[in-house]
Amino acid sequence: MFDKGKMWRFPGNNYLQEQGIDTPDMETFAQDPIASLARESCQNSIDARIDGKTARIEFKTFDIMRSEIPEVDRIAEEIDSCMDYRKNNSKLYKTLDNMKNSLSNNLIHCIRVSDFNTVGLKGINNLDDSPFYLLTRGTGISDKSGSKGGSKGIGKFASFVASSFNTVFYSTLNMDGEKGYLGICKLCSTRMKGTDEKTQGIGYFGLGNKNMPILEDLNLDKSFKRKTTGTDIYILGFRKNNNWKKELITKILDSFMCAIYYGELEIIVDDLIINKNNLGELIENENYILKRNYNNIKSQYILLTDPNVFKDTLEVENYGNVDIILKGFNKEESDLATNECVMIRYPYMKIKNLSRISNVPCSAMCIIGDNSLNSLLRDIENPQHTNWEVNRIDDDDIKSELRHVLRTLNKAIMDYVYEKLSTSEIKETDIEGASEYLPGIEDNNMGGGESSVIVETAKIVKKVKNKVKDKIGIKPDVYGNSLSPGLGDHEDDGEGSPMSNGYNNASGGDTHDSNSETGYDNEDSDNEIMTLVQLSGMQYRLFVPDKNSGKIVISFESLYNEDNCELELKYLDDSNAKYDINISDGKINGDPVEIVNGKINNIKIEEGKKYKIELNTDIRELYTFEVKMYANR
């Protein structure tokens, strides 16, 4: 039996607003209850972490007898009253009927969400804005500030959504030695017994008319007794499914990979421990991660643990620095690439992905530290903390500034990816002579309703690679054999031919009139005809820094030593027909190049040296490109 001073009270609304069940704060998390519970619980625990310690959070399922729920029949009575009052609303009536059926079971499935190495909830008996008061009585208000993960004051409703009859108990032991608990049941407004007043749609299990917390331990889970500071959330009638553990672990790893890796967070799901020591082992076990999320999670782990990554600090004007990690993948590992940048802000919680950062297989991570940029972005996060939304700010000047900050941040990331991958040595594809042309990135999550271009930045596109891979003609294999390069055939109109018809001035020699490819220009001459030979095995990357300017950037590393080379650039239509490109001017490694008949002539290359060719062209559309390099021999 429970003390009669402890009881459920469903207070009246003083003849004011009535409340339904599907309120906006509940609907925010209703789409994915398990994932929402994982994210909100871990975020709250990290925010409450004792300095210098690892926050540990435990998700522990257990069963209790129906009779062990405090004053359970009072909850059932209130649900019956709601059903009678809302009997003409078929949708709401069905929801309430499901609650009643769940509560009528003799055995009630529950989950306890407990954190450790945390400060607990201060101000248990405080009826002002203490943490305990705001958690149990507040909506849309929070005591969190600065770089803390949560600040909207509605994350608590993720716990109610995970309950089949919207009932949650909060229990805490804080740093001042105070302990206590309070139960909350969120239903809908109904008639108050014996009056014509309606209820507020919410009930409290506490002491007296002020619904004060009960200053003692709560022992719903008989296997657990709190001995150190922290908070316990008991979710009654836990909405579990057959895959709930996998969903929970997947969301935790995807959202808090950094926090776990840096030792800020440790999680226990029933008997499974997740910490920095076993991250790699867990990620390789398909039983723990949903298939659709595997690449994102694996990619984050690789970025944090692989020594062969790019790491730098980028400055975002006057707002603070961000850390960026980037890895490009070769063809064999390209399935691990996400081509996205994970946006993480302190306390190491993933907010969103910046997508389409490159067409070369890669993954990136941007970590925003404990600085003014962090605080600025926290203020425009949505309640789920999954996006930054500028329209949450009313002031037009501040809104404009925030858009500028987001553009600056995204541009810094895109420029960094472009710079590093354009000079790296990632082997990506064996498509011959073709590259994909991509436009600039657009971000529709900036707010304002229209599509706002963040940056027309360099887009990395597929590089050219000869069909004959790796061992190409110039070097024998271990058996002394070498492959012959495929140079292709001549076409009737000369397009794509290995030799320019009727010219030899690209070689630096005398112009000849013959169409012969070898020999001498006539029987009596000593002038040898030079041959244009395609340099096989060369790998090119082609970039489009700005789709509207016509600028094209080609980078490659030479496999040859040649004094007089010619580079040919063509574009292909949908039927793979090739067309010349008008090149107005260009540079190679910063030096001007010679353009003759739309080709780049007199290029000197050295084996092992990297080259960057910047060209201004008349191209303004989306095309596939072909790049070929010839030597006069």
What is the rounded average pLDDT of the residues 98-115?
Answer: 97
Encoded amino acid at 440, one letter: G
Which structure tokens are listed for 334?
Answer: 């390209």
Q: At residue 515, does pLDDT exceed 70?
A: no
Higher-scoring residue by pLDDT: 31, 97: 97
Could you tell me the pLDDT band of residue 352, with boundaries at 50, 70 and 90?
A: very high
pLDDT, tens only, 194-244: 899 999 999 999 998 889 999 999 989 999 999 999 999 999 999 988 899
Which structure tokens are listed for 139?
Answer: 């909506």
Identify the pLDDT of residue 597: 86
Identify the pLDDT of residue 184: 96
Identify the pLDDT of residue 500: 34
Separation of CA 331 from chain center = 22
pLDDT, tens only, 414-465: 999 988 887 665 543 332 222 333 333 333 333 333 222 222 233 333 333 3
Q: What CA–CA distance (Å, rounded) separates 243 from 263? A: 27
Higher-scoring residue by pLDDT: 411, 2: 411
Q: At residue 521, does pLDDT exceed 60?
A: no
Report phi then psi at 98, rounded to 5: -65, -40
Q: What CA–CA distance (Å, rounded) separates 243 from 270? A: 14
Identify the weakest region by mean pLDDT among 39-43, 118-122, 514-518.
514-518
Q: Of 256, 272, 273, 253, nearest to 264 (Cα)?
A: 256
pLDDT, tens only, 280-296: 999 999 889 999 999 99
pLDDT, tens only, 67-78: 999 999 999 999
Highest mean pLDDT: which range of 57-61, 384-388, 615-619 = 57-61
Identify the pLDDT of residue 79: 97
Which structure tokens are listed for 110?
Answer: 């529950």
Q: At residue 538, does pLDDT exceed 70?
A: yes
Q: What CA–CA distance (Å, rounded) separates 337 from 295? A: 7
For 617, residues 6+ apart whose C-beta sits below 8 A from its C-beta are 550, 551, 552, 569, 581, 582, 583, 584
Identify the pLDDT of residue 623: 74
Q: Tell me how crowded residue 114 is: count the other CB atoms within 10 A of its CB.
A: 22
Q: What CA–CA distance (Å, rounded) separates 371 from 320? A: 6
Percentage of residues in the chain having pLDDT higher than 70: 79
Q: Tell me how crowded residue 623 is: count the other CB atoms within 10 A of its CB.
A: 18
Higher-scoring residue by pLDDT: 266, 550: 266
Could you tell me the pLDDT band of residue 528, with boundaries at 50, 70 and 90?
A: low
Identify the pLDDT of residue 304: 97
* N-term to C-term CA, the chain: 100
For 594, residues 6+ apart whose C-beta sits below 8 A from its C-beta are 600, 601, 602
Q: Which residues pair with 167 in a beta bridge?
A: 185, 236
Percentage of residues in the chain having pLDDT higher than 90: 51
Higher-scoring residue by pLDDT: 332, 526: 332
Which structure tokens are listed for 525?
Answer: 């001459």
DSSP state of 626: E
For 506, residues 6+ apart whose C-beta sits below 8 A from its C-beta are 500, 532, 564, 566, 596, 599, 601, 602, 632
Ranges assigned E (strand) in 124-254: 163-173, 179-186, 202-207, 230-238
Could you tell me the pLDDT band of residue 141, with boundaries at 50, 70 and 90?
A: low
Q: What CA–CA distance (Å, rounded) separates 364 from 303? A: 7
Identify the pLDDT of residue 547: 63
Element (H, E) at 349: strand 349-355
What is the rounded average pLDDT of the residues 501-516?
Answer: 38
Element (H, E) at 512: none
Identify the pLDDT of residue 440: 31
- Interior/surface letters 488-511, b for 16+ CB within 10 angstroms, e for the rest: eeeeeeeeebebbeeebebbeeee
* Mean pLDDT for the chain overall: 81
Q: Which residues pair with 59 in a beta bridge?
A: 113, 269
Name the pairing type of β-strands 362-368 and 320-328.
antiparallel
pLDDT, tens only, 563-617: 889 999 988 877 778 888 889 999 999 999 999 888 999 999 999 999 999 999 8
What is the rounded average pLDDT of the residues 485-499?
Answer: 35
Q: At residue 2, does pLDDT exceed 80?
A: no
For 469, residues 6+ apart whose C-beta sits below 8 A from its C-beta are 430
Element (H, E) at 111: strand 107-116
What is the rounded average pLDDT of the residues 58-64?
Answer: 97
Domains in the chain, ordered, with CATH? 6-240 (3.30.565), 244-267+274-292 (no CATH), 306-423 (no CATH), 464-513+526-632 (2.60.120)
Identify the pLDDT of residue 504: 40
Residue 428, helix vs strand vs coil: coil
pLDDT, tens only, 469-481: 333 333 444 333 3
Identify the pLDDT of residue 26: 81
Q: What CA–CA distance (Å, rounded) separates 132 from 172? A: 9
Q: What CA–CA distance (Å, rounded) separates 328 from 336? A: 10
What is the rounded average pLDDT of the residues 363-370?
Answer: 95
Identify the pLDDT of residue 622: 62
What is the rounded average pLDDT of the residues 398-408?
Answer: 90
What is the rounded average pLDDT of the residues 177-186?
Answer: 95
Q: At residue 81, does pLDDT exceed 90?
A: yes
